[in-house]
């Protein structure tokens, strides 16, 4: 069965129309940085480091204060959650919101158990710093051979 060139042109024209409509809805649609909704699902963006006896997490939480954040740890499971309120001035009507508002939650399974009694948390310049000391059982021990 043969398809006429005009049918293919119409198909691509429809696809281009859809792309333009999506571009208007999501200004970063199709860019190399990814889709907008993917970035929101992974909020806050984090880095995890290991320093022998402890883990360190750095999480981006711009515009949030201590009272807006919750950090829970149990064994090797860590959860960072919080709420970001709207910053729209009172009485204003919102036409577009790209800076996320509402609740978020991010959880991690760490490579080893953490001693939750020794965890240190600091919030500075929109970054949450967590120092998570490994539980004594998880720390490597050197065994001397006799």
Residue linked to tokens 């080893």 = 112
Q: What number is the average pLDDT over the span 132-138?
A: 85
- H-helix or E-strand spanning residue 129: strand 127-133
Same domain membership, residue 80 and residue 12: no
Same domain membership, residue 82 and residue 67: yes
pLDDT digits (tens, 9 = 90+) for 28-67: 544 444 444 444 445 789 999 999 899 999 999 988 999 9
CA 47 – CA 56 distance, rounded (Å): 8
Q: Is 3 left (phi over 0), alpha (psi -120 to 50) or beta?
A: beta
Same domain membership, residue 110 and residue 67: yes
Higher pLDDT, 97 or 109: 109
CA 69 – CA 92 distance, rounded (Å): 27
- What is the pLDDT, as a whole number, of residue 65? 92
Same domain membership, residue 122 and residue 50: yes
Domain containing 123: what range? 44-86+100-137
Residue 112 contacts residue 76 (beta carbons within 8 Å): yes
Same domain membership, residue 131 and residue 79: yes
């Amino acid at each position: 069965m043969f398809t006429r060139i005009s049918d293919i042109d119409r198909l691509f024209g429809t696809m281009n129309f859809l792309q333009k409509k999506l571009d208007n809805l999501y200004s970063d649609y199709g860019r190399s940085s990814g889709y907008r909704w993917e970035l929101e699902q992974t909020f806050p963006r984090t880095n995890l480091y290991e320093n022998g006896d402890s883990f360190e997490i750095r999480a981006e939480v711009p515009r949030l204060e201590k009272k807006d954040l919750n950090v829970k740890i149990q064994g090797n499971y860590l959860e960072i959650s919080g709420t970001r309120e709207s910053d729209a001035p009172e009485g204003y009507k919102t036409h577009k919101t790209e800076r996320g508002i509402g609740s978020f939650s991010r959880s991690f399974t760490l490579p080893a158990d953490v001693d939750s009694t020794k965890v240190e948390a600091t919030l500075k310049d929109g970054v949450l710093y967590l120092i998570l000391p490994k539980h004594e059982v998880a720390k490597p021990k050197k065994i001397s051979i006799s």
